[in-house]
Every structure is written in structure tokens, then in C-alpha cells.
Amino acid sequence: MTRHPLARIGITLFIGVHLVLITLWNLPPSAFSDRLRPAITPYFRFASLEQRWSMFAPTPDRANRYLRARITYRDGSERLWAIGRLDHRLVWDKLILERTRKLVENVWNPKKGWTPFYPQICRWAAREVSRDPTRPPTKVDLELVWSKIPQPPQGLRQDPITEWKYRVIYTALAEELAHP
Amino acid sequence: MTWRQAWNDFWFAPRDLRSVGRFRIALGLVVLMKLGLLVPVLDDFFSETGMLTLAQSRMKVPAPRLCLFDYLPVDCAPVFLGAMLVIAALFTVGWRTRLMSLLLYLGMASIDQRNWLILNSGDRLLTILLFFGMFAPLGATYSLDGLSARRRGRLPSGPVQGAYWAVRLMQIQICLMYFWSTFYKIRGEVWASGEALYWVLRNLERVRWPLPSVLSDTMLGVNFLTYGTLLVEMLFPVLVWPARTRALMLACGLVLHLGMEYALTIGIFQYVVLASYLLFLERN
């Protein structure tokens, strides 16, 4: 029981500090919060207290999207491997593979500085498709595949998937693929 | 009652710990679920041949960090996960709860920091609750520790009361989650206009089972779902505290989160939140 005055003071400080830090951490970007956040970040990252409660906010995704690896082999043949495409999966598969959707949600936009992570994703994709050492890939194109959801109310009774489009966001060549 | 008395009563007055014991069991089961779902994809997420190497994981979360993977062999993930499953099971049944609580927090923080590319809100909330949970008397009730203490005469035969301040922190964290969630939602035009759930329910990567057509395929239904979500999240931080409105608020939250779990695949988030609701079922 916390009856000792010093213990109560210590706990009160602990409570106060954490409530203030959590509040400051969650503030939207501004001159004030941008100055404070670097001071809070080391502790929050260390202790895994980072939090951002902005799921589907301020605007939910307006497109269905996934990543696709196009693996090219020496003989010219190609294999495709989808990352984070769950729309045609069974419920149990979705439960297990939901984290690949999260991966795509995090890294699909190269403009947000995710490019350094693409080579490893390409290597991973190539390994998932084939581990045959006699048939190494010569190239892996990482493609962003997306389909814009139709605007409401016209889209209410339509298939949300209208037309899949894709563009290459990264190409890993043989040398990069061979690098562990 | 003065402010100081009210503060001391809210944070430090001993309270019935039965809800805390139930919360521990529920949280432990959620941890077991999270770890179990990682087993089939361990190689993809936590190995050097997976999507993110250990060195890359340090790019976002550099040292110093609370990641035991930094000190273990790079291929330790299967053994690590096995150890975590054992610790989570012992935590759930309440054996050496304080120690297991600490180890569980360290382990889950390590898993989070090893591959942050795949974390969702549920992972974050789970680890935060485990952090504050280290300071709470999670093992006092419905536990092997509690059973052992009673046999040795160290606990009374009736309801066990104990320090509640860490539980209050967890409760407030849940309320802050809803507060900030509402805050960020109402900044978006689609939430204010009532069409947000139209977009959410057409994101087929997330959709699990379809809702009745009257809800998802009509603007009235979409508006109802959108504003209903906002209303529950907005009111929860306020109305969950008074005894008169608590049950109703928890019931509304239960419907919201069960509905989300039915319609969407959002990892373990709903289960973590619903486990935390047990903390609000306190008896005075």
C-alpha cells in the first residue's frame, strides 16, 4: 500500500510526468509540438510508449493497394509475388497475413523515405518465390499496385475495385539481390 | 472533499483487485494470441532473410533501445518466441506475476522494436499496457500467486484490496486513446460529413466479412456507422467514469469493437481494448 509520503510523492511525479508526456506526444504537428517531440522521442522509443491514435484519420485510404514483386530470371521468365494483397484471401489467412498489409501501408510511398528498405524487401520476395540456387533472379521490380475506390454515392453498389494500375517504385538488380 | 483528498482517493485509496486479476488473464490471452499468430510468419518478420534485417530495424529505432534481439544471436527468433509463449502463459495464470510482467514487457517491446514495419495500434497499446502493468498488482487475484499467498495466510479470505494508481494510469491511457482518436478523426472532412465508413468498408485488404447491405451500401447506413463511431469514441473518456453511465458506455464500446472485429481485420487491436475494459469493472 502506498501510504509512505515519499512513495506517494514519487508515484505522483511518475504519474504526472507520463500523463504530460503522453499528451505532448499526441499533439498534432505544430511549432510547439515539433520543438518538444525530439526531447520526448528517445524515452518513448526506448520504452515502446510511442502512440498515434489516427487509424482511419483524418482520412481513410481512398484506394486499395498492395505491393508486387516482379522477379525476372536469367532465361527471361518472370514470376509475380503479391505482398499485402488480402482481398481474395480466406479469413484465417487474413488474420495471419494482416501484418504484410501493415508493411505495405508503411512503405508503399517512396517519397516518404522508405527506399532504403526496398532492397531487402526485394530479396525477401525473391527468396519466397524460389530458393533454387541454380536459378538466381537477375532483377526484381517492386511495383505499387493500386485501384482507386469510386466516389460515393455512385460507388455504393459498385465493386470497389475498378481498375488495377501499377508503377515500379524500385528495381533491385542481381548484385543487390545477391548482397545478404 | 478537498482537491488533495480527491486526488489521494482517486489514485491511492485501496480498491478491490478482482477486476485487475481478470484483466491480467485477458491480457495474457491476447499476448498468447499475438505470439501464436507470429509463429507461421516468424521467418518473414524476424530473420535476416526476411523483410527487415536487424541492422535495418536500428535505422528507425537506433540505440539505446530496449530490444533484446540486439544482444542475442541473429537467428534466435524461434527460441525467443518459444520463451515468450512460456512467459505469457505463466503471466496469464499469475505465477511469479511481477517477474513475468517485467519479462513480458521486455519481450514484447523487443518484438516491437525488432520489426516496427508490421506494428499496428493493437501492438502499441498492448506494450503500453504491459509497461504500466508492471507497476500494478496484477497477480493479487485469480492467480497462482494469490492462491499461494492465501495458503500462507498473507492474504485475507475476502476480496483483496490494493494499490490502484497503476490501474488508473492504464484506464486513463485508454481514455486518452479515444480522445486523440476522436481529435484526429474530426479534423478530417469525411468524418465530419459522415462518409468515412464508406471508404473504410471498401478497403478490401482490411474487410473481413460484409456488413448488412442496409449499413454499408446506403449513405444513411454509412452516416450511421460513421457518426456512431465518433459518438462512442467521443463520449467514452467522459462517461466511463461515473458509475451511472459506465455500464452503458462499456456496452456501446463493446458493440463498436465487436462490430469492427466482425467487419475488419485490424490485428489484435479490438482484443486489447476489450481486455482493458475489464479494468473499468471495478467494485467500490
Asked if B152 has any chain A CB less than 8 Å from its own CB, the reply is no
Interchain proximity B199–A60, CB inside 8 Å: yes
Instruction: Please identify which residue in the block is written with the cell numbers 453498389.
Output: A157
Assigned C-alpha cell, A133: 540456387
Asked if A38 has any chain B CB less than 8 Å from its own CB, the reply is no
Residues forming a β-bridge with B162? B15
Question: What average pLDDT does the segment B48-77 reach?
Answer: 91
Asked if A161 has any chain B CB less than 8 Å from its own CB, the reply is yes
Q: Which chain B positions have a beta carbon within 8 Å of A55's beta carbon?
A: 121, 181, 266, 269
pLDDT in tens, A19-39: 999 999 999 888 988 888 899
Indicate the pLDDT class of residue A157, thresholds 50, 70 and 90.
confident
Read off the DSSP letter of residue B210.
Answer: P
Indicate the pLDDT class of residue A134, thresholds 50, 70 and 90.
confident
Asked if the model's pLDDT at residue A2 lies above 60, the reply is no
The whole-angstrom separation of Cα A56 and Cα A136 is 40
The whole-angstrom separation of Cα B233 and Cα B214 is 23
What is the pLDDT at residue A180? Answer: 60
Q: Which amino acid, one-letter code, is at B40?
A: P
Indicate the pLDDT class of residue B284, thresholds 50, 70 and 90.
low
What is the pLDDT at residue A3? Answer: 67
- Residue B188 to chain A, least CA–CA distance (Å): 4
Contact A180, A127 (CB under 8 A): no
Return mean pLDDT, chain B: 95
Asked if B283 has any chain A CB less than 8 Å from its own CB, the reply is no
What is the pLDDT at residue B52? Answer: 94
Q: Which chain A positions have a beta carbon within 8 Å of B53's beta carbon?
A: 120
Q: Which amino acid, one-letter code, is at B113?
A: Q
pLDDT in tens, B83-98: 999 999 999 999 999 9
Q: Which amino acid, one-letter code, is at B81?
A: L
The whole-angstrom separation of Cα A54 and Cα B57 is 23
Given A2, A84, A161, which is nearest B12 (Cβ)?
A2
Helix, strand, coil shares, percent, chain A, to 5:
45, 20, 35
Question: What average pLDDT does the segment B232-250 reach?
Answer: 97
Asked whether the bond before A110 is cis by omega within 30 degrees of 0, the reply is no
The whole-angstrom separation of Cα B203 and Cα B194 is 17
Q: Which amino acid, one-letter code, is at B105?
A: Y
According to DSSP, the β-strands at A137-148 and A78-83 are unpaired
- If you measure CA to CA, which chain B residue comes closest to A66? B205
